[in-house]
Structure 1
Amino acid sequence: MTDFAPDAGFGKKNPKLKSALLQHKALSPAGLSERLFGLLFSGLVYPQIWEDPIVDMEAMQIRPGHRIVTIGSGGCNMLTYLSAEPARIDVVDLNPHHIALNRLKLSAFRHLPSHKDVVRFLAVEGTRTNGQAYDVFLAPKLDPATRAYWNGRDLTGRRRIGVFGRNVYRTGLLGRFISASHALARLHGINPEDFVKARSMREQRQFFDDKLAPLFERPVIRWITSRKSSLFGLGIPPQQFDELASLSREKSVAAVLRNRLEKLTCHFPLRDNYFAWQAFARRYPRPDEGELPPYLQASRYEAIRDNAERVEVHHASFTELLAGKPAASVDRYVLLDAQDWMTDQQLNDLWTEITRTADAGAVVIFRTAAEASILPGRLSTTLLDQWYYDAETSMRLGAEDRSAIYGGFHIYRKKA
C-alpha cells in the first residue's frame, strides 16, 4: 500500500500532480490556467466517479484471474470491477483526497456489518449516525494516513468524515460546480431539481426542450462557457477545454455542453440513470425512485466484500506504477480521460509501459472530451501497431454511457 500525505496540495506538496498538469511557463496565459486548475484540483474533486461502469464492464469482460490497473477517481467503478472477482486491482491516483476516499470505501465494504450499513454510509444523505459507524467499525481498521485524513478538520473546523453524515456528493470541486450551476439556472427562473419529477422519457424531453436548452442561448451563460476556468469545476483542465472548444465555430463549449446535457436528460429513463439523479437532485434515488450505482446493489455486495483485499491503492501515476511491474503482468487497463491532459512524450511513455506489461488478450479502455481517439498521429506507430482499435464496439458503448459527459469511449485490444 503506497503511502500518501493526507493534506498534500499542489506544487511542492504534490510534485506528482504538478508534473502531470504543468506544460507551459508560469506567466503565460496557458501556464496561469494550468496553475489555477492545479490549485482547484489539489482538493477533493470527485466524490463519485463519472464514467459508466456498466459500459466499462461490457467492454472489458472481466474474468476471475484478470489483473487490472485503473485510475481511482471517486472509487465507485473500482468496486464494481471487483464484483467480477478479478485476481487483483491496482488503483492509482495523483490526488491524495481520492486516495483517502478509495481506501475508505473499501474499508466500508470490508468492515461495516451489512449491505444496508454500506448503503446507509455511502448513499443516504442526512444520516448522522455515519460518524459513529466510522468511529466504531472503520477508523480502527484504516491505515494511519487514511485515518488521519478522515479525522482531520475542514476549513470550518469539522471532522472531514462528517460529510458522510450530511451529503458527501455535495462536496468536492464537482459538487460545488453543480451547486453553482443550479444557482445560475435559478437566477434565470429554472429549478433543475424539478427534472426528477418527470415520469416518462417524453416528460424528460419536454423539460429539456422547455427549460434547459434555452439557458444555453442566454448571453451570460455563453460568456461564462467561453472561459476555460468555467469548466474547472467539472475537473476539465485547460487542455480538455481546448478539445471541446475546437468542436464549435465560436470556440465556446456552450453548444457542446447543451448536447451532452441533452443526452443525460433525454436518452435514458430517469429510473435507470443515477448520474442524472446526482446532477439534478444532488443525491441518489430512493428505492421507489430508481436504481443505485452497481457497486451499491445487493446482488454485488458479497463479491465486493469478500474480494476487497485484492485491491491496492497507490498514490502514483499510471506510468510510474506500470514501470515497477514485470512484463505481461496486466490484463485490463482503465485510463479514464487522463490522456487528454498528456503531452506526446507522456503518451508514448505511458503506452511503452502498457505495451510491455500487457498480457495476451489485454484490453485498454479510455474516454476523451472530443469524439475521436487521441492516439493516431500522437502515439508512435511502433506502439500503435501492436494494438487493435475496436471502433464498432467503442462507438456502440460510447452511446450507452449514461453519464453523458464525454465525447468518445475507446477500446484497444492487444494484437496476438
Structure 2
Amino acid sequence: MADIAQEAGFRKNHKLRDALLQHKALSAQGFSERLFGLLFSGLVYPQIWEDPDVDMAAMGNIEGLSIVTIASGGCNMLAYLSRSPKRIDVVDLNPHHVALNRLKLAAFRHLPSHSDVVRKFGMAGVPSNSKSFDLFVAPNLDPVTRSYWQKRSLLGRRRIGTFDRNIYRTGLLGRFIGTGHLIARLHGVDLTEFTKAASIREQRQFFDSQIAPLFDKPLIRWITSRKSSLFGLGIPPQQYDELASLAGDGSIAPVLRQRLEKLACHFSLRENYFAWQAFARRYPTANEGNLPTYLKAENYAAIRANADRVTVHHASFTEILRQKPAGSVDRYVLLDAQDWMTDEQLDGLWSEITRTAATGARVIFRTAAEKSVLDGRLSQSLLDQWTYLDDRSKELTLQDRSAIYGGFHIYARKD
C-alpha cells in the first residue's frame, strides 16, 4: 500500500525488481531488463489485452469457485464477476494497476447506474467523470487509493482527470499505440480509417493495401529489430527473445505483421473492441460495435452485486498462494507472466499452484511464442500432476480477439 502513496520507482519496488532482473546491470541483457523495469514502474495497461471471453470459456463454470488472477487493467477480473465466483484474489506487482483495479471496483459499487460506469470507463471526452468520482467514488475508497487518484501533476491536473479526457491514450500501452499511429502517418497511412470498414472483407482489403506494406519499410524494420521497441506493449526482453526466435531474421516485424493481421482480419470489427483500441484509440459507440464484456448492460447487475468478493493485493502470484491453505483455489489466471520467469521461479510458482489446487483446478495462461513455456523447463515431478488440454488450448488460441499472443494454454489438475 505504501508503494502507491509514494509512487515508488523501479528501484524502490523490490517485488518488481525481483521478478524482472535476471542479469548483471552492466550486461546488455541486464541493461534491457532495467530499462524495461523503469518503464513498467508507471501505469502500463489502462485496458487488459487478454480476451476475457476466451478466459471464461477455458475456465468453464466458475460459479462459487475461488480464483486467483493477475490484475493488469482489471477488465477481465470484472468480467469474471458476471459469472458469480465465490472469491477472486487479484495480484499485481505494479502499484498503478492496483490503484486502477480498486477504482474500477469502487465505481461499480458506488456509481448510481450502468450509464455512469460506461461514461467513466467506456467513453472519451466526458468532463463530468471526475465530478462523479468526487461525489460517489472517492468517499468510498481507502485513503491510499483515494490519494493516488487525487494527486496533481506539475500542471495542476488531478490524476482522476484523465477519465475526463481518454484514459486509453495514457499509460505505456496507450503511448505505444499513439507512436504506432504517428509512424504510420509518416508513411502516409491513417490507421483510424480502418474503422470505416463495413465487413471483414473490407477489413482485409485495408490491411493488405495499407497496413501490411508498412512492415517492409526500413524504419519499421530497424525499430522492431530492437528489444526496447516492444517495451510499450509491456513485453519484456525475455518475451522479445521468444518472438525473435520465430522470425529468425533479426527483426520481429514478420511476427508483428502476423499478429496484427489476426487482430484486423479474423474478427468482425463490430465484435472486437481490441481492434477499436488499436485503430481508433477508443471504444466503439453503440452504433459502431460492442463494448468490453465488463461494460455490457446485461452483466452490470451481477458485477455490481459481486464486487465485494474481490480483494486486490500488491503482491506476486507466488506470494499470495503461500498464504493460502492447501486445496483452496479452483482457477488460476497467469496472463503472460511466466514468459518473464526463470526456471527456478517457475518451479516455485507451480509448487504453490499444485499445493493449493482444489480437485478439478485449472490454470490458464498466454505465451508470446506458440508453445507452452512449461515444456522442458518446469520440474517433471510438478508437470506430471497436471494434464495439458492441447486441443482446447489450440481452439481457444484461434478465438482470442486480442491477437497479440502466440499461444493460449490450459492445464487441468489430475485427480
TM-score range for the pair, normalised by the shorter chain length: over 0.9
How far, CA to CA, are the matches of 1:202 and 1:304 in structure 2?
36
Report whether the alignment pairs 1:42 with 2:41: yes
Q: Secondary structure at the match of 2:365?
A: strand
- In structure 1, the partner of 2:219 is 220
Show the 5 A alignment for 1:190-269: 190-269=189-268
Q: Secondary structure at the match of 1:247?
A: helix
Equivalent residues of 1:125, 1:164 under 8 A apart:
yes
How far, CA to CA, are the matches of 1:336 and 1:144 in structure 2?
29
Q: How many residue pairs were aligned?
A: 415
How far, CA to CA, are the matches of 2:62 and 2:40 in structure 1?
34
| Cα shift readout 1:276-297 (whole Å, capped 9, x = no counterpart) | 0000001000000000000000
Equivalent residues of 2:4, 2:99 under 8 A apart:
no
How far, CA to CA, are the matches of 1:7 and 1:195 in structure 2?
41
How far, CA to CA, are the matches of 1:160 and 1:205 in structure 2?
39
Equivalent residues of 2:10, 2:41 under 8 A apart:
no
How far, CA to CA, are the matches of 1:229 and 1:263 in structure 2?
23
Q: CA deviation at 1:62?
A: 3.3
- In structure 1, the partner of 2:319 is 320
Q: Which amino acid is the alignment partner of residue 183 of structure 1?
A: L
| Cα shift readout 1:24-83 (whole Å, capped 9, x = no counterpart) | 001110000000000000000000000000000000013321000000000000000011
- In structure 2, the partner of 1:330 is 329
Q: Secondary structure at the match of 1:89?
A: strand
Report whether the alignment pairs 1:63 with 2:59: no
Equivalent residues of 1:6, 1:148 under 8 A apart:
yes
How far, CA to CA, are the matches of 2:170 and 2:339 in structure 1?
25
Q: CA deviation at 1:4?
A: 4.4
- In structure 2, the partner of 1:5 is 4
Report whether the alignment pairs 1:16 with 2:15: yes
Moved more, 388-397 or 12-21: 12-21
How far, CA to CA, are the matches of 1:145 and 1:262 in structure 2?
42
Q: Which amino acid is the alignment partner of residue 387 of structure 1?
A: W
Q: Secondary structure at the match of 2:101?
A: helix
How far, CA to CA, are the matches of 2:2 and 2:74 in structure 1?
17
Q: Which amino acid is the alignment partner of residue 249 of structure 2?
A: E
- In structure 2, the partner of 1:391 is 390
Report whether the alignment pairs 1:98 with 2:97: yes
How far, CA to CA, are the matches of 1:401 and 1:94 in structure 2?
25
Moved more, 11-20 or 373-382: 11-20
Q: Secondary structure at the match of 1:388?
A: strand
Q: Which amino acid is the alignment partner of residue 71 of structure 1?
A: I
How far, CA to CA, are the matches of 2:308 and 2:163 in structure 1?
23
Q: Which amino acid is the alignment partner of residue 399 of structure 1?
A: L
Q: Which amino acid is the alignment partner of residue 174 of structure 1?
A: L
Q: CA deviation at 1:158?
A: 1.1
Q: Secondary structure at the match of 1:364?
A: strand
How far, CA to CA, are the matches of 1:189 and 1:7 in structure 2?
43
Scaled by the length of structure 2, the TM-score of the pair is 0.99
Q: Which amino acid is the alignment partner of residue 258 of structure 1?
A: R
Q: CA deviation at 1:153?
A: 1.9
Report whether the alignment pairs 1:124 with 2:128: no
Report whether the alignment pairs 1:143 with 2:145: no
Q: CA deviation at 1:326?
A: 0.4
Q: Which amino acid is the alignment partner of residue 102 of structure 1?
A: N
| Cα shift readout 1:274-326 (whole Å, capped 9, x = no counterpart) | 00000000100000000000000011000000010000000000000000100
How far, CA to CA, are the matches of 1:409 and 1:252 in structure 2?
24
- In structure 1, the partner of 2:366 is 367
How far, CA to CA, are the matches of 1:156 and 1:313 in structure 2?
30
Equivalent residues of 2:4, 2:145 under 8 A apart:
no
Q: Which amino acid is the alignment partner of residue 62 of structure 2?
A: R
Percent identity between matched residues is 69
How far, CA to CA, are the matches of 2:125 and 2:246 in structure 1?
41
| Cα shift readout 1:242-281 (whole Å, capped 9, x = no counterpart) | 0000001202110000000000000000000000000000
Question: What CA RMSD, in Å, does the superposition of the two structures yield over aligned residues?
Answer: 0.9
| Cα shift readout 1:167-195 (whole Å, capped 9, x = no counterpart) | 00000000000000000000000000000
Report whether the alignment pairs 1:29 with 2:24: no
Q: Which amino acid is the alignment partner of residue 51 of structure 1?
A: E
Scaled by the length of structure 1, the TM-score of the pair is 0.99
Equivalent residues of 1:51, 1:401 under 8 A apart:
yes
Q: Which amino acid is the alignment partner of residue 377 of structure 1?
A: G
How far, CA to CA, are the matches of 1:85 and 1:297 in structure 2?
16
Q: Secondary structure at the match of 2:370?
A: coil
How far, CA to CA, are the matches of 1:147 and 1:240 in structure 2?
34
Q: CA deviation at 1:240?
A: 0.2
Q: Which amino acid is the alignment partner of residue 146 of structure 1?
A: T
- In structure 1, the partner of 2:356 is 357
Q: Which amino acid is the alignment partner of residue 24 of structure 1?
A: H
Q: Which amino acid is the alignment partner of residue 344 of structure 2?
A: Q
Q: Which amino acid is the alignment partner of residue 15 of structure 1?
A: H
- In structure 2, the partner of 1:297 is 296
How far, CA to CA, are the matches of 1:233 and 1:7 in structure 2?
24
Change (3 A) 1:365 1:155: farther
- In structure 1, the partner of 2:402 is 403
Equivalent residues of 1:322, 1:353 under 8 A apart:
yes
How far, CA to CA, are the matches of 1:356 and 1:230 in structure 2?
38
For structure 2, the 5+ residue unaligned runs are none
| Cα shift readout 1:350-404 (whole Å, capped 9, x = no counterpart) | 0000000000000000000000001021100100000000000000000000000
